[in-house]
Amino acid sequence: MPHSPINRALVKLLPLFEKVSDQELDDILASATSRRYTAGDAVFEQGQTADQFFVLLHGRLRVTQVTPEGQQVIVRMVNPGDLFGIARALRRPDYPGTANAVSESIALAWPTAQWDVFMEGHPALAVNAMQTMGGRLQEAHARLREMATEEVERRVAHAVLRLANQSGRKESEGIRIDFPVSKQDIAEMTGTTLHTVSRILTAWESAGLVRGGRQKLLVRDPHRLLLIGDGLAPGHL
Amino acid sequence: MPHSPINRALVKLLPLFEKVSDQELDDILASATSRRYTAGDAVFEQGQTADQFFVLLHGRLRVTQVTPEGQQVIVRMVNPGDLFGIARALRRPDYPGTANAVSESIALAWPTAQWDVFMEGHPALAVNAMQTMGGRLQEAHARLREMATEEVERRVAHAVLRLANQSGRKESEGIRIDFPVSKQDIAEMTGTTLHTVSRILTAWESAGLVRGGRQKLLVRDPHRLLLIGDGLAPGHL
DNA sequence: CGGATTGTTGAGGATACTCAAGTTAGGTGG
DNA sequence: CCACCTAACTTGAGTATCCTCAACAATCCG
């Protein structure tokens, strides 16, 4: 599969490549390889030497970190168009987390050495990459603020809304999270246990806010969920 | 005070300007102004239009965010050499937090409009700035992981160690945090209350790990603190 | 049709918060 | 220089949230 020629049209519209000329883009794509991953596959693992960085074209990835004690934390979800595995930009020799495909995924990969070349040679790309990191930093701070100040139910509400915004697809009955999410996953995003998540979601389901199922999630009433997230709706009746 | 000529030697050694030529540096400094802040002063406030970005030359700043409910969270401490207030890099029109001097401080300031000019015109600077953001992102993730998985005492241990590493000065008896830190501050860094911090620190003081005082903190035994942080030493007894 | 993964629900208990005094330290003005 | 005032801190008691432990049910997959 590697070294198949990559179609410029596929990536031209990604925000990451905004204001990058066709000429530059061809140059950039020349050193890329395309890879396919099936659900469950690891794109890279925590601690491994960071010899590549990636852009996700299709699918979803879950990036996790494992604590020394073996507890897992979900750092973020990678959505199509996202840059990931950019350990090099952090001047790290290894990947700080593990990236797993949660559904069938396709990514472009470049050798790490290309990073600095791209950054120095394509200022527009550098600005876009910086913006990507900025967005990620803001999300991390938002989550920190939540973890520091909010009770579990509100954190779960925010996590679910974030999933709906980033990876939701509108359906007749609400917003569907269009990849498999387990209660354990939500627990690892919010710093709680799957038990607590289960209790909260069943309560919400009774209230008609969401509809769950085995690794399925449909948000029926985002507005009321937002109220819960902001502490303006009951919760602990 | 503004528009006094700025000495190149003062900033030449900062990591941010590594590999930036003298020529470029002069160009960059030409549009900078230098400002002084006394303890307590706000450099900028949350929500304010981000018309400048800064580099701290001397002193310490505390960057906080306030939740809609009025709870404060300390996002980070700014140390000499650090870039801060770079809302522009995040494509934000306003500052996402408030920066207060905790001790006498001096900073360089540039108009926001210069940001893109610098990034496009000085690739070395762009790479360094990206690295700065990368470091910050890693710290945010580390804190997230802590908040998600660790109990309060361990989080406090990590926060204190982080302060010691970033802003500590070696003394005969240990590592002194060389600016005023209150228990409230530590609480706002770790997502707990000043009461709990007080209880933990007095316990540590009895054990000879630290020595406290009104807004004072001296780490006497970083090694044992690290053990507590990693969950390898008692704590709750 | 088993086996495994995922999810549900209950009971009990611990961590850490809230509420409530009170104490100490530092700065300020008389 | 001392008295006072405030901000920072200490400490105790009661309690709520949420975790742990435990058993069981449902769903998916081969």
* pTM to 2 decimal places: 0.93
Torsion over CA: B164, B169, B170, B171 (sign): negative
| Residue B128 tokens, joined | 């360094």
Is residue A143 domain-resident? Answer: no
The distance between the two most distant Cα atoms of chain A, rounded to a whole number of Å, is: 60
Mutate to test the interface with A, among B24, B149, B152, B228 (most CBs of A within 10 A): B149
Q: What is the pLDDT of residue A4?
A: 57
Residue A100 lies in a domain: yes
Please give the Cα distance from A6 to A84 (Å, whole number): 19
Q: How far apart are CA A150 and CA B23, in angstroms?
A: 50
Task: Quote the pLDDT of residue A205.
Answer: 97
| pLDDT in the model for residue A88 | 86
Q: How far is CA A65 from CA A78, A183, B230, in A?
A: 14, 18, 16
Rg (CA), chain A: 19
Strand-pair partners of B33:
B109
Mean pLDDT along residues A178-184: 97
Establish whether the CB of B191 is closer than 7 Å to any nucleic acid atom in strand C: yes
> A215 with A182: CB under 8 angstroms?
yes
> Are B96 and A138 in contact (CB < 8 Å)?
yes
**Chain A residues with CB inside 8 Å of B89's CB?**
130-131, 134
In chain A, whose CA is at the least distance from the CA of B91?
A: A131
Predicted local confidence at residue B10, as pLDDT: 87
Residues B167, B175: Cα–Cα separation, whole Å:
9
User: Is A141 within a domain?
Assistant: no
Residue A89: pLDDT band (50, 70, 90) is confident
The single-letter DSSP state of residue A96 is S
How far, in Å, CA of A65 to CA of B190, rounded? 20
Arithmetic mean of pLDDT, A111-120: 92
Helices B152-167 and B222-229 pack at an angle, to 10 degrees, of: 140
Q: Tell me what percent of the residues of chain A surpass a pLDDT of 90.
A: 86
Task: Mark whether A157 and A116 lie in a shared domain.
Answer: no
pLDDT (tens digit, 9 = 90+) per residue, B68-119? 998 999 999 999 999 999 998 888 999 999 999 999 999 999 999 999 999 8
Counted residue by residue, chain A has a size of: 237
B141: DSSP letter? H
Is A148–B73 a contact, with Cβ atoms under 8 angstroms apart?
A: yes
Q: Which of A136, A171, A201 is the last residue of a domain?
A: A136
Say whether both B125 and B18 belong to one domain.
yes
Cβ proximity of B167 and B178 under 8 Å: yes
Min distance B235 CA to chain A CA atoms (Å): 17
**Inter-chain contact A131–B190, Cβ cutoff 8 Å?**
no
Do both B216 and B177 map to the same domain?
Answer: yes
- Total domains present in chain B: 2
Which nucleotide shows the minimum CA-to-C1' distance to residue B235? C15
Length of chain B: 237
> Which of residues B234 and B76 earns the better pLDDT score?
B76
Please state at what angle helix A194-206 crosses helix A183-190, rounded to 10 degrees.
Answer: 110
Residue A202 confidence (pLDDT): 97
Whether A223 is covered by a domain: the verdict is yes
Is the pLDDT at A134 greater than 80, yes or no? Answer: yes
Question: In this structure, is residue B145 part of a structural domain?
Answer: no
Backbone φ, ψ for residue B116 (5° rounding)? -65, -35
Minimal Cβ distance to A148: which of B124, B147, B230: B147
B196 touches strand C (CB under 7 A): yes
Q: Is residue B237 part of a domain?
A: no
Which has the closest alpha carbon to A84: A146, A157, A35? A35
pLDDT over 70 (residue B3) = no
Please name the residue that has the structure tokens 């204001």: A19
Query: Pick from B60, B56, B70, B66: which is nearest to B16 by CA?
Result: B56
The single residue listed with the structure tokens 């990191």 is A133
Residue B216 counted as domain residue:
yes
Per residue in A138-164, pLDDT tens? 999 999 999 999 999 999 999 999 999
Same domain for B44 and B117?
A: yes
- The answer to the question of residue A114 being in a domain is yes
Q: What is the pLDDT of residue A90?
A: 85
Question: pLDDT exceeding 70 applies to what percent of chain B?
Answer: 97
At B122-158, the pLDDT tens digits run 988 998 999 999 999 999 999 999 999 999 999 999 9
Query: So what's the pLDDT on residue B4?
Result: 57
| DSSP, res B236 | -
Residue B195 pLDDT exceeds 70: yes
Tens-place pLDDT, residues B16-46? 999 999 999 999 999 999 999 999 999 999 9
Q: Is the domain of B174 the same as that of B69? A: no
CATH code, domain with B162: 1.10.10.10
* B8 and B122 inside one domain: yes
Three-class DSSP category at B98 = strand
Which of B111, B136, B161 is a domain's end point? B136
- At residue A237, the pLDDT reads 53
Shared-domain flag, residues A27 and A113: yes
CB contact (8 A) between residue A67 and residue B131: no
**Residue B25 shares a structural domain with residue B131:** yes
A:189-208 Cβ neighbours of strand C under 7 Å:
194-195, 198-199, 201-202
> Contact B141/A96, CB-based, under 8 Å?
yes
Is residue B159 over pLDDT 60? Answer: yes
A122 and A17 co-located in one domain = yes
Q: Residue A234: pLDDT band by 50, 70, 90 thresholds?
A: confident
pLDDT at B7: 81
Of all protein residues, which has its CA closest to the C1' atom of C25? B214
Task: Give the CATH number, domain containing residue B98.
Answer: 2.60.120.10
> Looking at the structure, do residues A117 and A17 belong to the same domain, yes or no?
yes
B213's CB contacts (< 8 A; 6+ apart) are none
Q: Which of B73, B119, B148 sits opposite A145 (nearest CB)?
A: B73
pLDDT of residue B16: 96
Q: A137, B133: Cβ pair inside 8 Å?
A: yes
pLDDT at residue A2 above 90? no
Q: What percent of chain A stands above pLDDT 70?
A: 97
Tokens at residue A195, please?
């038990």
Q: Residue A96: its pLDDT value, please? A: 96
Higher pLDDT pick, A1 / B7: B7
Which residue segment(s) compose the domain that A190 sits in? Answer: 150-229
**H or E element in which residue A64 lies:** strand A52-66
Q: What are phi and psi of B55, to 5 degrees?
A: -130, 130
Judging contacts by C-beta atoms under 8 Å, the chain B residues touching residue A65 are 141, 145
Q: Which nucleotide lies closest to B206 by the C1' atom and the CA atom?
A: D10
CA distance B128 to chain A (A): 9
Contact across the interface for B149 and A96, Cβ inside 8 Å: no
- A30 membership: H or E segment, kind and range: helix A22-30
Question: How much is the average pLDDT of B183-187?
Answer: 98
Q: Which pLDDT belongs to residue A235?
A: 66
Give the number of A-B residue pairs with CB atoms closer than 8 Å: 122
> Per residue in B149-180, is it b (16+ CB within 10 Å) or e — as a string?
bbebbbbbbbbbbbbbeebbeeeeebbbbebe
Contact by Cβ (8 Å): B151, B220: no
Give the pLDDT confidence score for residue B235 in this predicted structure. 65
State the pLDDT at residue A7.
82
At residue A5 the predicted structure's pLDDT band, cuts being 50, 70 and 90, is: low
3-state helix, strand, coil in chain B (%, to 5): 45, 25, 30
Q: Do B127 and A149 touch (CB under 8 A)?
A: no
Give which of B148, B215, B203 is closest to B178, Cα–Cα: B215
* Interface residue ranges in chain B relative to chain A, Cβ cutoff 8 Å: 65, 67-69, 71, 73, 75, 86, 89-92, 96, 116, 119-120, 123-124, 126-127, 129-131, 133-138, 140-141, 143-145, 147-149, 188, 190-191, 230-231
Listed as ranges, the nucleotides of chain C within 7 A of a protein C-beta are 6-11, 14-20, 24-26
Residue A162 and residue A131 share a domain: no
B33: how many CB neighbours lie within 10 A of its CB? 15
CB of B213 nearer than 7 A to strand C: yes
- Chain D nucleotides close to protein (CB under 7 A) are 8-13, 16-22, 27-28
- Amino acid B38: pLDDT: 94
At A195 the pLDDT is 98
- B84 membership: H or E segment, kind and range: strand B83-84
Domain final residue, candidates A136, A160, A194: A136
- Average predicted confidence (pLDDT) for chain A: 94
Tell whether B118 and B28 lie within a shared domain. yes
